[in-house]
């Protein structure tokens, strides 16, 4: 058996742990040969591959990033290198030429959408859910999320001591374009006083009120805001437009905007910190190492059982799989009735509404 593995979309702690687990399981259990496709789907178009054997995956479990490289804009169905043309036939032809019996695609919603389409064209594909945003449908968790939350929690811990010392309002801006899981869990783990999410436009007055209450009693405030959050009535996320890019909207800066909105309304100084790609880099947490390893092993089992067109998923504590068609191109925002939102409100955290 010959199996290809690729990592698509943004990088994420735990990718190497999945690559290692899939490779070791396939070699140990069925003596498969395993090939790494480099830079996501671009490797299938540019014919960039490398051998994945035991030495190649030794010592990578705790390494951040991906040893295969990745690409977050290469869609063979709308290839930027060919003016948006569909070159999927070229990708399929190379997979056939390599003699791949299966492809394991590790990625987020975009990668799963491409995997689903390739699967429809006859490529035997198994997906593995990756994203620090934790916003893939039909899985309770994607690996990488726990590592990102740990970074946010530590950042808030550090911002708390300086906020308290100076009597300031400190804003931490997290990733999360359309789903606020990182801001919500990171904010809860770091004891934020205000958490602002993309799912619910914030009322500036509500944020001001919470900061004033804290100015009067505790003397400082911690705010955790997701990059996709926006003020009520604005209707626009804070973003830059990137010229000549298939993904022209780059989010970032809502923390600084919020700081400018709050400054004239408060006595305290307001400062914003953009956490950015720090949340995506570095070594996975032990939880993510184990989750990624379980996902990788399960993907190898699906390959051996011929369970194609499916994505590995976590349901409760059980690793299982779901049809790619349920996941492809979809997104999982925080539901309005989610228990953690109720818990946050119950503890007096302002959600800006
Ligand atoms: O999808 C994960 C994510 O980290 C988003 O939260 C973020 O907006 C985006 O990727 C950033 O990607 P890039 O590396 O292209 O800036």
- Which of 75, 133, 135, 288 is the catalytic position? 133
What is the CA(319)–ligand 1 centre distance, in A? Answer: 26
The ligand 1 atom at the shortest distance from the C-alpha of residue 175 is 6
Residues 228-232, mean pLDDT to the nearest whole number: 94
Ranges of H-type helices in 217-280? 254-262
Same fold, 2-143+284-326 and 149-280: yes
What is the CA(9)–ligand 1 centre distance, in A? Answer: 9
- For residue 296, give the DSSP letter: H
Average pLDDT, the chain: 96
What SS3 class is residue 246? Answer: coil
CA distances for 268 relative to 3, 25, 130, angstroms: 58, 56, 40
CATH assignment of 2-143+284-326, given 1.10.15.40, 3.40.50.720, 3.40.50.450, 3.30.750.24? 3.40.50.450
Residue 198, pLDDT > 70, answer yes
> pLDDT per residue over 8-38, tens digit each?
999 999 999 999 999 999 999 999 999 999 9
Residue 178, pLDDT > 90, answer yes
The ligand 1 atom at the shortest distance from the C-alpha of residue 252 is 8
> pLDDT per residue over 38-63, tens digit each?
999 999 999 999 999 999 999 999 99
What is the CA(139)–ligand 1 centre distance, in A? Answer: 19
The ligand 1 atom at the shortest distance from the C-alpha of residue 108 is 1
- What per-residue confidence (pLDDT) applies to 230? 94
329 pLDDT band (50/70/90 cuts)? Answer: confident
Residues 184-203, mean pLDDT to the nearest whole number: 97
Residue 247, pLDDT > 90, answer no
> pLDDT per residue over 296-319, tens digit each?
999 999 999 999 999 999 999 999
Contact 261, 278 (CB under 8 A): no
Q: Ligand 1, residues 112, 175, 226, 333: which to mutate, most atoms within 8 A of Cβ? A: 175
How much of the chain, in percent, has pLDDT values that exceed 70?
99
Pairing verdict, β 318-323 and 310-315 = antiparallel
- The position carrying tokens 């290469």 is 74
- What per-residue confidence (pLDDT) applies to 227? 97
What is the CA(226)–ligand 1 centre distance, in A? Answer: 12
Of 281, 172, 169, the residue nearest 219 (C-alpha): 169
234 part of the active site: no
Q: Per the structure block, which two tokens stand in for 348?
A: 């007096």
- What per-residue confidence (pLDDT) applies to 249? 83
Contact 337, 132 (CB under 8 A): no
Residues in a beta bridge with 4: 35, 103
246 pLDDT band (50/70/90 cuts)? Answer: low
Q: Determine which residue's CA is closest to atom 16 belonging to ligand 1.
A: 250
- Pocket lined around ligand 1, Cβ cut-off 6 Å: 10, 72, 108, 131-133, 175-177, 227, 251, 280
d(CA 298, CA 336): 32
CA atoms lying within 13 Å on the CB side of residue 115? 36
- For residue 4, give the DSSP letter: E
Residues 97-114, mean pLDDT to the nearest whole number: 97
What SS3 class is residue 315? Answer: strand
The ligand 1 atom at the shortest distance from the C-alpha of residue 251 is 8
Instruction: Report whether CATH 3.40.50.460 matches the domain 149-280.
Output: yes
- For residue 194, give the DSSP letter: E
Q: Sketch the domain layout of the chain as residue ranges.
A: 2-143+284-326, 149-280
């Amino acid at each position: 058996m010959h199996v290809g593995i690729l990592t698509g979309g943004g990088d994420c702690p735990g990718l190497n742990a999945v690559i290692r687990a899939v490779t070791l399981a396939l070699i140990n259990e069925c003596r498969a040969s395993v090939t790494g496709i480099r830079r996501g789907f671009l490797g299938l178009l540019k014919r960039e591959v490398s051998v994945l054997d035991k030495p190649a995956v030794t010592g990578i479990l705790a390494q951040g990033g991906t040893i295969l490289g990745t690409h977050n804009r290469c869609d063979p169905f709308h290839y930027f290198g060919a003016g948006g043309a569909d070159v999927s036939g070229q990708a399929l032809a190379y997979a056939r030429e390599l003699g791949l019996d299966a492809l394991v695609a590790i990625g987020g919603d975009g990668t799963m959408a491409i995997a689903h389409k390739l699967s429809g064209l006859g490529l035997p594909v198994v997906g593995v859910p990756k994203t620090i945003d934790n916003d893939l449908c039909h899985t309770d968790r994607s690996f990488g999320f726990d590592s990102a939350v740990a970074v946010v929690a530590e950042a808030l811990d550090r911002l708390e001591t300086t906020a308290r010392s100076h009597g300031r309002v400190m804003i931490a801006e997290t990733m999360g374009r359309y789903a606020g899981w990182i801001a919500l869990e990171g904010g809860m783990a770091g004891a934020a006083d205000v958490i602002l999410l993309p799912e619910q436009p914030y009322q500036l007055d509500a944020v001001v009120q919470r900061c004033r209450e804290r100015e009067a009693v505790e003397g400082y405030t911690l705010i955790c805001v997701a990059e996709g959050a926006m003020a009520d009535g604005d209707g626009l996320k804070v973003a830059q437009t990137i010229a000549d890019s298939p993904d022209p909207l780059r989010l970032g800066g809502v923390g600084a905007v919020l700081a400018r909105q709050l400054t004239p309304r408060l006595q305290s100084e307001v400062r914003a910190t953009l956490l950015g790609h720090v949340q995506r880099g570095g070594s996975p947490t032990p939880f993510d190492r184990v989750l990624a390893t379980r996902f990788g092993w399960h993907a190898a089992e699906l390959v051996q059982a011929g369970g194609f067109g499916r994505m590995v998923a976590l349901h409760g504590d059980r690793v299982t799989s779901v049809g790619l068609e349920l996941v492809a191109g979809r997104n999982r925002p925080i539901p309005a009735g989610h228990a953690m939102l109720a818990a946050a409100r119950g503890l007096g955290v302002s959600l800006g509404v």
